[in-house]
Structures are given as C-alpha cells and as structure tokens.
Amino acid sequence: MSLFSDVAPVRFEGPQTDNEYAFRVYDKDREVLGKRMEDWLRCAVCYWHSFNWPGQDIFGAGTLPRPWLGATISQAMADAKLEAAFDFLTRLGMPYFTFHDVDAMATAATLKEHDRNLKTIEARIQEKMAASKVKLLWGTANLFSHPRYAGGGATNPDPEVFAWAAAQVRGCLETTHRLGGQNYVLWGGREGYDSLLNTDLKRELDHYGRFLSMVVEHKHRIGFKGAILIEPKPFEPTKHQYDRDVAAVYAFLQRYGLAKEVKVNIEVNHATLAGLDFEHEVAAAFTYGIFGSIDINRGDPRNGWDTDQFPNNAQELVPAFVALIEGGGFSTGGFNFDAKLRRQSVDPADLYLAHIGGIDTLARALLAAADVVSARKLAELKRTRYQGWDGELGRRIESGSLDLAALADLATASDFQPAVRSGRQELAESLIARHCKY
Ligand code: XUL
Ligand code: CO
C-alpha cells in the first residue's frame, strides 16, 4: 500500500469511456505500421518530478504530499519512495522508468557513503523490477543540485569537483548497467557559464570533451551496451549551456571524436527554449545519425522558462512523430515523461490523470502521424518539390562533377530563368490537421 494505491490498475477502455482513470487511445497492443503501440512509444515515468519533487518553486515551499521527502533522505525514506514509485508505475502499466542517482538513494556526505547508499537502493530497485517487469529506460547522475556543482561538474574550474562528477557518473553508469538500463543520460545543466568574463571557454570545453571520452571508455570497459545520450538545453540554470541544441551537441561530439559514440536525448521544452521547433531537433538528430531518446513535455507559449508541463496537444506533436516514424522509430530510446504537476495538483490522483492524459496524447499523435505517413501525400509533396534534383543538372551538381566555374558557365550559357514555384506549405499543414482525428 502506498499514497498511490487508491487508483485501480489503469486499462485501455476506448474513446467512449467515462472513466478518467482509463486510457481512451493508448491501447498498448494495437498494431501501428507493423509494431505494437507500446513498442513505438516505450513510455517512461521519471522519478524526479513524480516522486522527488514536493512542489516547491522559487517563491514557495512544497505543496504536494510526498511524506518520504525531507532536507536529508534516510534509507527508510528512500525505501518508502521506491515503494510508492513502483506502486504508481505498475498501476499505470508503464514499461519503463528513469532516475537520477540522488532521486532514489539516501543522502550521502562523502563519496564512500554515496557509493554505499546507491548500491543499497540498487539492490532494492532490482527486486522491484524483477517483481513488476518494469524496466529502466535510463539512469543519470545529478551533477547540478548539490552546492559543489554551482560552477559546473565536468566544466568546473576546480578539478576536485570534476573528480566528484567522475565518481558519481562511474557509480550511476555501473548501476544503470546492472539494472539493465537501455541508455545512460548526461544532462549538463551546469555545464555552461553565467558570465564569459570569468570563464575559460576553451578549457571548459576541453574538460567536458575529456569527461565524455572517459564515460565512453568506461562504458566499453564494463560492457554496457546501451547508448550514452547528451540532453541538449540552451540555458537554465546556467545562462549559456554548452549543449545548446542538437547541432551544438553534434559539433561538440565531432570536435572530440565522439560522434559515433554518443547520441542525444531531445526534450520538447528545451527545443522551445532554444527557439527551435521540436520536430526540427528530431529531424536534425536523425540527419546527423545521433537520434537517441525523447523527454516529452511542453512549455507554456507565454513563458520563457522550462515549465515541464504534461503534453496535451497531439496535433502540435504530429510533425515530430512523422520525423520519428520516417527515421525508423526508437531503438534504445523512448518517451520519458520529464513533466511535472502544477503546484496545486495536490491529490495523488493528479499524477495518474497527468500521465494518462499525456500518454493518450502521444497515442493520438502516433496514430495521426502513421496515417500521414501511410497516405504518402506529404512524401509525394516533398518528392515533387525536389524533383529537379533527379534530372541531369541536379545529378551533376550532387555528384560533384561540376566545379563552381563550370556550373556558373553552364548557367550562363543555358540562360536559366527559374520561376518561383509553390512550396505548398498550407497544403502540408492541412494534411497534418486532417489526420488528427483520434
Ligand atoms: C532539466 C532536465 C533534466 C534531465 C535529467 O531541464 O530535463 O530533468 O532530463 O537530468
Ligand atoms: Co529532461
């Protein structure tokens, strides 16, 4: 029994149901383009927002009943949290969860204690996973909450902090490996700067590159087969975060020779903060060959910060789902609900309602995107838009057989007079809207 035991296991009941504690669209066994819905979405509940955040904000204290939380977490509190988390996960019927080391374990003051407390909770998580069949999508080390990380983890001016970060990541990567985690995530919330005036940019980037190389080397040493993922975000808490967006991460990975070893975990609200469309980030990651996983949530269109709200607008997500389907879907990744309740959502039931609404939103977006892809009209629109490139001129340019001068001479001699042609954007947008019927 736990705080979350009042809700009966959540089932698919279809769109006609009156039951708020049922899925209307998410039918995990429904086949979509040859794959079960559950296998397309690979949904995960995150430990931190759901069980480790009491609802505080910068102006006020926690509001949510989370009796296992306090200034320091004892082993008994960590155990109560684990009990509640797995009660929730199994009642919701989610296949995966995600966690930071410090979300799950008892508070530690030294690295020795950290290692011991993490291993203690790992053994208990292992039992819970075995009993419930819930799997680990990814683990991650929290290198941003403790005051020692105020100036960064891997990019801290103090090498002793770098060493602390290394020890935490080693521990959490190994725990993730032993728990059968499918990925390991690094979100560099404090890997950035607040002022360039006191920051050695080159040195910090080199340290960050070295840190990541050490993580990759260790991954291979211990035989971890999952993916190492960087989670881009432009700012917050730092004013400028190095992992700004997918393109910045790709440049960083290339510079340090890691582009074949590390992928990205894209978060919707982070893309928004970077001034980019979520679908752009997904498409860019597939294009660069570094697509890994997704943290699903949304921002508020009028706020410039990371509100981490539950997604509820399927139509808005369809373009990203089209990119996901066309890219072949997830391999090791999934949709992690990196989303939190509002401060007034104080009933344990609210956590169910938030996830049910969010998961149904993903199911709606998936079905609509599958229809868009199957109808092939968008693909056809793109094909005809670029068809000039399938002709002789296009082929000669693409193959590299023309240099700049030869192409200029050809254009001049042929007197090219290209006309503006319709990009059919409104049609493309209507195609998305018309398939949003679930
Ligand atoms: C912060 C964020 C983190 C990462 C994990 O914005 O998204 O919760 O997902 O550290
Ligand atoms: Co996230």
Whether 103 lines ligand 1, by a CB cut-off of 6 Å, is no
- Show the tokens assigned to 334: 């999934």
Question: For ligand 1, what atom is nearest to the CA of residue 142?
Answer: 10
pLDDT attached to residue 336:
99
pTM of the model: 0.98
Query: Considering the domain boundaries, does residue 6 fall inside one?
Result: no
Share of the chain above pLDDT 90, in %: 99
Average pLDDT over residues 241-253: 98
Pocket test for ligand 1, best of 97, 187, 278, 308 (most atoms within 8 A of CB): 187
Same domain, 126 and 148: yes
Same domain, 314 and 425: no
pLDDT tens per residue across span 338-370: 999 999 999 999 999 999 999 999 999 999 999
| Mean pLDDT (the chain, rounded) | 98
Distance 142 CA to ligand 1 centre (A): 9
Same domain, 276 and 407: no
Same domain, 357 and 390: no
pLDDT tens per residue across span 136-155: 999 999 999 999 999 999 99
pLDDT band of 134, cuts 50, 70, 90: very high
Distance 216 CA to ligand 2 centre (A): 21
Same domain, 53 and 106: yes
Same domain, 366 and 385: no
Share of the chain above pLDDT 70, in %: 100
Same domain, 399 and 357: no
In this structure, the residue with its CA closest to atom 8 of ligand 1 is 338
Whether 295 lines ligand 1, by a CB cut-off of 6 Å, is yes
Q: Please answer whether residues 135 and 144 qualify as being in contact, where contact means their C-beta atoms are separated by less than 8 angstroms.
A: no
d(CA 169, CA 218): 10
In this structure, the residue with its CA closest to atom 5 of ligand 1 is 187
The catalytically annotated residue of 103, 245, 338, 371 is 103
Same domain, 397 and 312: no
Closest to 138 measured CA to CA, from 215, 50, 227: 227
Ligand nearest to the backbone CA of 238: 1
126-157 as b/e: b if 16+ CB within 10 A: eebbeeeebbbbbbbbbbbeeeebebbbbbbe
pLDDT attached to residue 392:
97
pLDDT band of 301, cuts 50, 70, 90: confident
Same domain, 346 and 406: no
pLDDT tens per residue across span 365-393: 999 999 999 999 999 999 999 999 999 99
Measure CA 187 to chain center.
10
Query: Considering the domain boundaries, does residue 19 fall inside one?
Result: no
Active site residue 100: yes
Same domain, 294 and 192: yes
412 has a pLDDT exceeding 90: yes
CB atoms within 10 A of CB 300: 12
pLDDT tens per residue across span 85-109: 999 999 999 999 999 999 999 999 9
pLDDT band of 125, cuts 50, 70, 90: very high
Pocket test for ligand 1, best of 149, 231, 297, 340 (most atoms within 8 A of CB): 231
Range of the domain at 261: 31-375
* DSSP notation for 158-179: SHHHHHHHHHHHHHHHHHHHHT
Ligand nearest to the backbone CA of 295: 2
pLDDT attached to residue 304:
85
Which residue's entry shows tokens 């793109």?
Answer: 382
Please state the φ and ψ torsions of residue 50, each to the nearest 5 degrees. -80, -40
Active site residue 103: yes
The domain that holds 263 is classified in CATH as: 3.20.20.150
Domain count, the chain: 2
pLDDT attached to residue 193:
98
Same domain, 277 and 424: no
The catalytically annotated residue of 49, 100, 280, 355 is 100
Looking only at the bridges linking them, the beta strands covering 262-267 and 291-296 are parallel
pLDDT attached to residue 1:
87
Pocket test for ligand 1, best of 50, 53, 140 (most atoms within 8 A of CB): 140
pLDDT attached to residue 338:
98
